Amino acid sequence: MTSFFTALDNIKRSEDGGADAWDTDSYLNIWVGRITTGVLGYSDNPTANIPDDEHGFVVGFQYFGESDHENYGMGKTAVHEIGHYLNLKHPWGSGNCDAANDWVNDTPISEDAYYGNPVHPQNSCETVDMFMNYMDYVDDSSMVMFSQGQVDRMHYALDIFRPTLQESNGCGVPYLVTQPDLLMPVQSLLLTVPYIWI
């Protein structure tokens, strides 16, 4: 299958100058790099017909984490793309006030994407639009929420489509090393300076 993003997927393969994915059954792969096509990032959804070793998302370096980017420097592009990775669509879906728009009952139907920092309320269809949703295209400072239905849909996607991610060691609490009760002095074979073995 060829898509707009096929040319950008070189970042996902070492033979093309990118980096190979870690085990996609255990990790959400994030590729950070230069995107020159005008998009901030892109992600597959759990049912995408792509090779297993390409699952994850790609994000432009200037939009990843905190940066100096005026509109998208708060790291919310990653939140948006993880939403897609966990089977969320944009709130406007196919647009035109389509009732089936994003397959989530508690996100209001909207006609199209919002950009910038809209002032609440905005109304493009019959209800007030949820432009402040992480799945819209507003500036990072205006993205503040997922709806409960979206959270439920992401949990469902984890349980059904990506269950092994929840079993990954990458999700575990790191083992903390504590200070031992007993310090044992040791001597260097080359120096006569005492060392402490912890």
Which active-site residues does the annotation give? 81
Closest CA to 125 of 97, 100, 99: 97
Q: Where are the beta strands (DSSP E) in the chain?
A: 30-33, 41-43, 57-60, 184-187, 194-197
Contact by Cβ (8 Å): 52, 24? yes
* Per-residue exposure over 76-89, b if at least 16 CB sit within 10 Å of its own CB, e if not: bbbebbbbbbbbbb
In 28-153, DSSP assigns E strands to: 30-33, 41-43, 57-60
Yes or no: say if 128 and 147 are a contact pair by the CB < 8 Å rule.
no
Helix, coil or strand: residue 149? helix
